[in-house]
Structure 1
Amino acid sequence: MTPDTASHTASRFQALDLLSLLVAVLQSDGAVQFANAALENVLGLSRRTLEGVGFAQFFTDPALLHTALQGARSRDFAALRFEGSLKRLHQDPVLVHVSVTAAELSGQMLVEMWPLEQQARQDREERLREQAQAHKELIRNLAHEIKNPLGGIRGAAQLLEMDLQSPDLVEYTQVIIHEADRLQSLVDRLLAPHRHPHLVGDVNIHEVCERVRSLILVEYPQGLSIAQDYDISIPEFRGDRAQLIQALLNVVQNAAQALAPRIAQGDARITLRTRVARQVTVGRERYKLALELHVIDNGPGVPDAIRERIFYPLVSGRDGGSGLGLTLAQTFVQRHHGMIECDSVPGRTDFRILIPLP
C-alpha cells in the first residue's frame, strides 16, 4: 500500500477510532486494510505494522476467522459471530466476541471485536457506581435522622447533670455526653463528602502527587519509600485541587497503613505512576483521553472478604479503621467524572484513579 493510499484509507475510516470496540477492515483475502486505535492498543502494534498482514494470524485459532470470512464471502449470513482469543505482544491473549460482516459492494470484511474482559469490567464498574450511589444516599439520610435525636439526648444529659448532687451519678451523665459527642463526630464524617463545595481551577496532577508524597513521608519518615514514575507530558486540567489532594492522600494513607509490617522491616514501597490513557470508558461514557494515576504498594493485599466492598462506607480492613477514607476518595474522584479501581494480590496492590482529560 502506497503512502497516498494509506492516507486515503485512514481518512475514510477515521471515525472508527472513536469507537471503544476493536475494529479491523479486511481486504477480500483477509489482509488488514485498516485497524482502529482500540485494536492497536490491545495488540500492541501500530496501524502501519498491521496493514497488509493476514489478520487470522493474530488469533490463537486462525481457523475460526478463516471459516467466518468464508461464510461472509458466500453471503450465507448477514453476520457471523464467534468467540476467539487475540494474541497480544508481550501479554496474555484476550478473549473477544467477534462479528464478521461483508460489505455489499467493495468486497471488504468488517471485523468487530468486543473484549469479554472489558465488557465484564464495564458492567462491574456500572454496578459499583450504582451501589455506591445507593449507599451514599442511605448513609446521608440515616445520618440526618440520627442528628436530631442525638442532640436531644446530649442536651437532656446536660440538664440532668445540673440537678444531680451525687458525683457518682454525674459520672454516668458524662458517659452519655461523651458517647453522644463521639456519635456526632461519626455523623459529621459521614456527611463530610456532601458538605465540601466543588471549587474548580487549573490542576497540575504532579503538584498534587508531590504534595501528598511530602505529607506521607513526614508521617512515615523511616522504612517507607515513595517512588515517582511520572509522565510529565500530562496537561493541566480543570478540577478541584483540594479535593484531589484529599482523595489521593486517603488512598496513599490507606496503602501506608497496610504496609505497617514492611515499614517496620524497612522495605515498604509505594509507587505513584501517572500515564495518559486513550479511548477510555468511565461509567458508560467514552473519553478520548484520561489521566491514569496508579498508587502501587508492595503490601499484603486487600483481604478477599472485603475486596468488592472497600469503597463502601464503614468498611475497613484494619482494626480501628473508620472505613470512610476510600469512600471519600471515590466520591471526590467521581465529582471529576472519574472513578477509582483496585487490583490486588498478595505483594502488590494497585489503586487506579481515572479522570477524563479535555
Structure 2
Amino acid sequence: MPASAPPLAARSRAPRKAPANTRYQALDLLATLVAVVSGEGRVLYANAALEDALGISRRSITGSALQDCFTEPALLQNALNGARDNAFAALRYDAWLKRTNHEPLPVHVVVAQTEGVGEVVVELLPLEQQTRQEREERLMDQAQANKELIRNLAHEIKNPLGGIRGAAQLLQMEFSSRPSGQANVPSPPGASAKELIEYTQVIIHEADRLQSLVDRLLAPHRRPHVVGDVNIHEVCERVRSLIVAEFPKGLRVVRDYDTSIPEFRGDREQLIQAVLNIAHNAAQALVERIQAGDARITLRTRVNRQVTFGKQRYRLALELHVIDNGPGVPDSIKDRIFFPLVSGRDGGSGLGLTLAQTFVQQHHGLIECESQPGHTDFKLLIPLP
C-alpha cells in the first residue's frame, strides 16, 4: 500500500456526504417549487413540484442552468452572485417562470443560502398561491377576531336585555291587575290599560327576539364539540333533503360526489349546520331563478392531496363545494361575508356564514368563496386522516 494512502480504518471512519438526490428528498413533500443550485446556478436537485410546473423531467432539469428557466435570467444570476459573496442571507423578488407549452408563470422568488458549501436554495412561490395563503391568513385572523367580538358583545347585551324583559313583565302584571281607571303607574294621555299591556308585550317580544339572536351568537362556544365518525355524503344528503323540502319547485340540487372519500372524525351535527347555512343562503339568493325554474345548487366532494391551508400542510383534505348559479355575492360585501351581522339579503341576520366558518374551523378547516354573476362557489376544506 502506498505510504500516502490513509489506513483502511481511517477511510471507513471518514464522513460520507450523502448524494443530493437523497439529502433533499424531503423537498418533494412541499407544494412550493424548490431547486437546490450551485453558486453558478447549475441545478443540483429539483423537487417534484418544480418538475410539474416546468413540464420537463427532473433528469433534464438537473445540471442545467436555472437562470434559463426565467424570462429575465440576469435577475437570478445577480441574486446567486450575492449569495455566493455572502451579501445577504435571503433575497426575495418577483419574476416570470418559463414553462413548456404554457404561458409564463408569475412567481415570488426566494434565494437563500444553505449550510452546504456552494449550495443555494431557490424557492418559487406562484403569486396566485401566495395571494391565496395571504387570504387564508386573513380569514383565520378575521374568524378569531369575530369569535372574541361575538362573545364579548353577546355578554354585554344579555345582561341589560334580561333587565328590560323583567321590567316589561312587571309592568304587564301591574296593568293587568289594576282596576280600570286606577293606576299607580302613570299612563300616556288617552292610553287604556289594554293598550299599555300591548306595549309591554311588544317590549317582551322584541327582548325575546334579541335574546334568541344572542343565543345564536353564543351557540358555537357553548355547545360541546361531539366527535364521532363522519361520512360527508350523509351530511350532504341530509342538507339536500332539507333544501328540497323547503324549495320543492324550480330548484334542482345536483349531487357530484367522490364516493372514495373516507370517513373522518368530526362533529356531524355541526357540519350539517355549516353546509345547510351555506346551501340555504344559496337557495334564498336564487329566488328569481327558482321562479324561472332553472335554479341549481351543486354539492360536490373531492379529495385534495398535499394541500396547505391554515399555515399547515396536509397529506389529504376534503373539498366540499356548494355551487349555485345565482346572481353572486355583491361586490360591496365580498370581503366581509364572514363577518357577523353582514348580510346581502333584506331581513337576513348575517349569522349563517359566520357560524358556518366557526363550525368548520373547529374541524381545523376553512371556508373560501369565489363568486361572480352566475357562479358562486363556497369551498369547505377539512383535513382527512
Alignment-mate amino acid for residue 138 of structure 2: R
How far did residue 72 of structure 1 move?
7.9
What is the aligned residue count?
347
Residues 213-256 of structure 1: CA deviation (Å, up to 9, x unaligned): 22212222222222222222222111111111111111111111
Give the corresponding residue for 1:185.
212
| Greater gyration radius | 2
**Other structure's SS at 2:284 match:** helix
Give the corresponding residue for 2:222.
195
Residues 170-198 of structure 1: CA deviation (Å, up to 9, x unaligned): 12111111111111111111111112211
CA contact (8 A) 1:33 1:51 kept: no
CA contact (8 A) 2:72 2:96 kept: no
1:267-282 paired onto structure 2 within 5 Å: 267-282=294-309
TM-score (norm 1): 0.84
TM-score (norm 2): 0.79
Unaligned runs of 5+ in 2: 1-18, 181-192
Give the corresponding residue for 1:147.
158
Name which of 85, 94, 97 aligns with 1:83. Answer: 94
Alpha-carbon separation, structure 1, partners of 2:77 and 2:219: 59
How far did residue 51 of structure 1 move?
3.0
How far did residue 120 of structure 1 move?
3.0
Residues 32-82 of structure 1: CA deviation (Å, up to 9, x unaligned): 6643344356x285xx834314566654x1635774598489868677754
How far did residue 10 of structure 1 move?
5.3
Residues 74-110 of structure 1: CA deviation (Å, up to 9, x unaligned): 8686777542123568876542122456889897764
Matching of residue 134 in structure 1 with residue 145 in structure 2: yes
Alpha-carbon separation, structure 2, partners of 1:304 and 1:218: 31
User: Percent of pairs identical after alignment?
Assistant: 67
Note closer, same or farther for the CA distance 1:341–1:179 as it changes in structure 2 (3 Å cut): same
Select between 213-222 and 304-313 the one with higher mean Cα deviation: 213-222
Q: CA RMSD in A?
A: 3.1
1:281-300 paired onto structure 2 within 5 Å: 281-300=308-327
Unaligned runs of 5+ in 1: 1-7
Name which of 51, 66, 69 aligns with 2:59. Answer: 51
Give the corresponding residue for 2:367.
340
CA contact (8 A) 1:34 1:51 kept: no
Select between 345-354 and 100-109 the one with higher mean Cα deviation: 100-109
CA contact (8 A) 2:231 2:263 kept: yes
1:1-358 paired onto structure 2 within 5 Å: 11-25=22-36, 34-39=45-50, 43=53, 45=55, 49-53=57-61, 59=70, 61=71, 63-64=73-74, 67=77, 71=81, 82-86=93-97, 93-100=104-111, 110-164=121-175, 165=180, 166-358=193-385
Alpha-carbon separation, structure 2, partners of 1:293 and 1:90: 31
Alpha-carbon separation, structure 2, partners of 1:92 and 1:259: 37
CA contact (8 A) 2:333 2:344 kept: yes
How far did residue 284 of structure 1 move?
1.8
Alpha-carbon separation, structure 1, partners of 2:260 and 2:231: 11
